[in-house]
Chains A and B, each alone.
Chain A
Amino acid sequence: MPGRVEIRNIRKAYGSFLALDDVSLDIAPGEFLTLLGPSGSGKTTLLNVLAGFVRPDSGSITIDGAEFLLLPPHKRNLGMVFQNYALFPHMSVRRNVGYPLRLRGVSGAELDRRVEEALGLVQMAHLADRGVNALSGGQRQRVALARAIVFEPSILLMDEPLSALDKKLREHMQLELKRLHDRLGTTTVYVTHDQREALTLSDRIAVVNGGKIVQLGTPDEIYDRPKNKFVADFIGETRFLPVETGASGALLYGRPLRTRDDWKGATGEKPWLVIRPERLRWKGDESQTANRIEAETTDIIYQGDSYLITVRMPDGAELDLRRGPDLGGKDLPERGQPIQLWLDREHTILVADKS
């Protein structure tokens, strides 16, 4: 399958500020790859370099081995969904979607058929003759998507396409995007700052920070094996606890901590234990002292789908844990009471400040 993208050593500076710092990345044909990172990390810049809107200072992009970087934007044959959709306000839905085809010389029944098909894919066929200003945010989103895929581009680029939608619609659209990708198999580069969205959609995630890719991996790798504190923090509802390393192994609040991996940090670098609310247990073998945390319950909040329980460590640090609602209100810890927590060995993740 064609469409292998190789991004090599892309640099882009704005004055003395490095927006892209030697970015290299391979994208496999048909892959759904997400650039995930905080605002200002350089995601849009990288996407715009791909699309041809930003000229990098140096580097190379090849598609199936052919240099791509020097092509003008209109010759790149990439579909792109812009953050604010960028639908042409003077064209109807139908004309917007047909525009890339007309530029490619498609006309008549063929044009109509393909526009209809693309609109059908995003369930917008019934609004084909509307003006785009008469559409809701979600509808515009779909039209923008239809316009980006109608000419069957080799690669589809999307820059935070769902960020303007409300939560419910966003989640719904995520599913649709995923389904669409499964169906079309178009290589997709997707930009978001929403880690949950990235986890939901992606085959692989590239976590971007400060113009660099700090970790590249599948969603479970990113979630369960964050390379450093930044990635761990950015993904999930993460809390960190300080871990002591001694001759006898790792210690958490003086208790032994058995970890999944040995700590391989540099000497003098202190590891942090990554704690996510859904990974903590509060039922366990009372005699087991390893991986045990003693704390005090400070808050219990009913959130519908779960209970969020906040506990305080002896040193004042707070942790959250989550418990399913299946037992009703029974069997919950009591506020102000001590509580014992266990962390399974396979869920202990140690990270350093930097890696």
Chain B
Amino acid sequence: MTMVLNHPGIADADHNADALKRQGSRERRVLASLTLPGAILIFLVLILPIGWLFWLSFFGPSGEPTLENYTRMLKPIYVRTFISTFEVAGLVTLVCVLLGYPVAYLLSQLSERTAGLLMIFVVLPFWTSVLVRTYAWLVLLQRTGLVNTWLIDAGVISTPLPLVHNMLGTVIGMVHVMLPFLILPLYASMRAIDSVYMRAAANCGATPSQAFRQVFLPMSLPGLAAGVALVFVLCLGFFVTPALLGGGRVAMWAMQIANNISVYGNWGAASALGVVLLVVTGIILYVFKRLFRVDSFEGVR
């Protein structure tokens, strides 16, 4: 005897298949349509302007197609500015890591309440304008500034130290502005590290310092990488602080872009500078991501 699995009256097993399929794709369409506003927004405010920027970069001031905007960048001033921009960004990022990591670690080990209170000091720089902050640093660091005056009065030095109007001043000022951007994501990722991992490490026989270096530190790397990427990219676009605190000597790519638009009115040249910065930044972030595997630990040995 053969078993009849089909319900009597249903002619074939394909029954409803089409309807179910239609239902499925309708559901998918509905879900996709929910992402539509976001997709449109991204297209309008991100993809479109960048595409346009790219397009503009191939036209000269009077609208003729040209590669001049790119060949211009081989001039020494652009090459130098390019190098110094990445130097400044790299240096500032490095100092931010050295200062920000211990702070984030301290905060992550405190109770949420205390950490929340101390966090106010971390984000305090956000509440003053860049210009005010920058002038405040001038007042502190210049030859006749507070720091040099103290040091001379205390007999530590006899001639003022060149703390500002150079690369050092630029880095100090920018680190002040950038530190929160490193600390915040890093702190969040450190908070997310369950204390059970440190216990597990101790249980395996690790001293507190071994546990920190071999377990906590690597586990905090994704947060650190996020902070580093953020700070680095933000640094690339800075120019108020470097201009003032660098004594005019620290050239940033963003200043050149601003000059090209505001002074020369040369949209094409400015676009080309923007495109180059965008592309190089993209490449760096990609390499960085590959090196540090920002997205996951999978397969790490």
The residues of A with any CB-CB pair to B shorter than 8 Å are 51-53, 72-80, 82, 84, 86-92, 94-95, 99-100, 103-104, 129, 131, 133-134, 147-148, 151
Contacts and interface: CB of A to CB of B under 8 A. Distances in A.
Across the A-B interface, give the 6 residue pairs with the lowest CB-CB distance, nearest first: A86-B200, A100-B204, A73-B202, A103-B205, A90-B218, A80-B203
Interface in B205-248: 205-208, 210-211, 214-215, 218-219, 221
A82 B199 contact: yes
Given A82-B200, A86-B200, A90-B218, A74 B296 contact: no
Contact of B203 (A73, A87, A95): A73
Q: How large is the interface on B (under 10, 10 to 19, 20 to 34, 35 or more residues)?
A: 20 to 34
Nearest to B196: A86
B197 interface: yes
B11 interface: no
A129 B196 contact: no
Interface of B: 194, 196-197, 199-208, 210-211, 214-215, 218-219, 221, 296-301
B300 A73 contact: no
Nearest to A144: B200
Given A73-B199, A80-B200, A82-B196, A133 B298 contact: yes
A292 to B, nearest CB: 49
Main secondary structure of the interface of B (DSSP, over half): helix
Given A74-B205, A99-B204, A100-B205, A86 B199 contact: yes
Contacts of B194: 84, 86
Contacts of A89: 219, 297
Nearest to A104: B205
A305 B83 CA distance: 77
Contact of B210 (A84, A91, A103, A151): A103
A76 B301 CA distance: 28
B205 A90 contact: no
A78 B203 contact: yes
A48 to B, nearest CB: 8
Contacts of B203: 51, 73-74, 76, 78-80, 148
B299 to A, nearest CB: 5
